[in-house]
Structure formats: C-alpha cells, structure tokens
Structure 1
C-alpha cells in the first residue's frame, strides 16, 4: 500500500510545476479540461518559470471568457473542480484583472494537486 499522501500547501505548488513529469501531466490535464473550447495550452519555456507562464496563459483565456460568453468558463471551472467557495471568495476582488489572475492561480493549483495525487498513486 502507498504511504500517506500529504498534498503541498498552495504556496509550495510552484516548486512542483517545474518537475518535467508534473509539468507534462499538468499541461495535458489543462488541455483535457479545456475540452473542445478551441483553446489549448502549450509549454516550451524554461521549467523554472513554468508556474508563472502557465498561470499567465490561463489568465488570458479566463479573461476572454469572462468578457465574452461565460458558458465556457462555467463548464471549464466545473471540469477542473474549483470550489464554489474559492470562486465566491475571489469575486470580492476589485478589478477584473485581479480576479482573472487569482482565478488562474486557483485553477492551476487545483490541476497541480490532481496531477500530484495521480502520480503518487501511480494512475496514468
């Protein structure tokens, strides 16, 4: 049986994003959750900047959806499984840009946690 898994705190997740196996799996998971929304994320930058680059790209995508048809945004957040509590907490932010950035952080952290759990328990 696998040893107990301790998920990293949100502040610790950035470190894991630079690991090649985690980075590849996070990009794949993001693209899976983006589904057929005509959006894909590709990463070819330096691994040590992976977290920030992915977050910035997510922020741009989320911003387009926030300013357009929010149907895509709602479906994406459901697939990612971002908690309603987290979303409601972010809604208190003052600017759209700040909301987009914070929401991108929530999404990326959730995807990282899913990948780390899958890697820990050996699921493809």
Structure 2
C-alpha cells in the first residue's frame, strides 16, 4: 500500500492545505483515542513542526513508560514494525522518538491520501 504513493506525491501533498488539515485532524483523532490531546493552530506552513513537537513528547514518554499503549497507538495508526525499521537517508533524526514521530506523521498523511484517492475514484 505504501507503494501506491510515490515519494514526490508525498512531498507535494505536505504543502497542500487540504491534505495538511486532513492529516492534522487524523492525528488529533488517533491520539485522542488514547487520551492524548494534540492541538493544531491551523497554520499550514508550520504544521509539520507544530505537530512533530507535540507528538515527540508523547512518543518519548510512551517509549519510557508505557510500551503497550505505544504499540496500541501504532496499531491504530497502522504503522508496522517493518515500516518503523525502514531507514530513509533523506531524513536525519538523532533519537528514536524523532524517528517514530516522523514515521507517524508520514503514515497519517498516507492514510489521508489513500482515503481521498478512493473517495474521489468512487465519485467518478
């Protein structure tokens, strides 16, 4: 399913307001299911940084205190261990929480793109 979306499509979508807003809403929804509140100002330009900084705090805490909850969250997001272990040389993250957080945001965007694709395909 990850091959359905090219890297260039993913990068372009990160800049489109529609997809940024839908991704932020998806993140908020998934994290809320586990009692974690994620705020989003609506600023599309700084959306990645805004969400990344909040999620990284949650991921860091879950990694050190509640691995079961983290695994349940990753399952909800549909982020497999295989995807987590893939190394992307384009991104330079220093810590595991940063890597996991980036992968979460990327997966949430992919979910939005796939959902949008099939929704639009069904309307034609």
TM above 0.5, yes or no, is yes
Deviation of 1:15 after TM superposition, in Å, equals 4.2
Say if 1:18 and 1:51, in contact at 8 Å, map to a contact too.
Answer: no
5+ long unaligned stretches in structure 1: 91-96
The structural deviation recorded for 1:26 is: 1.0
The CA deviation at 1:20 is: 2.5
Alignment partner of 1:55 is 2:56: no
Alignment of 1:1-124 (within 5 A): 7-9=5-7, 13-44=10-41, 46-88=43-85, 98-122=95-119
* Count of residue pairs the alignment pairs up: 112
Kindly state the Cα deviation for residue 113 of structure 1 after the two structures are TM-superposed.
Answer: 0.6
Q: Which digits, 9 at most, give the CA deviation of each residue in 1:4-49, with x for residues without a partner?
A: x95131x763542342221221122112322432212121153112
Q: Alignment RMSD, CA only? A: 2.5
Where does structure 1 differ by over 6 angstroms across 4 or more consecutive aligned residues? Answer: none
In structure 1, what is the Cα distance between the partners aligned to 2:42 and 2:74? Answer: 26
Q: In structure 2, do the counterparts of structure 1 residues 50 and 8 end up closer, same or farther at CA, with 3 Å as the change threshold?
A: farther
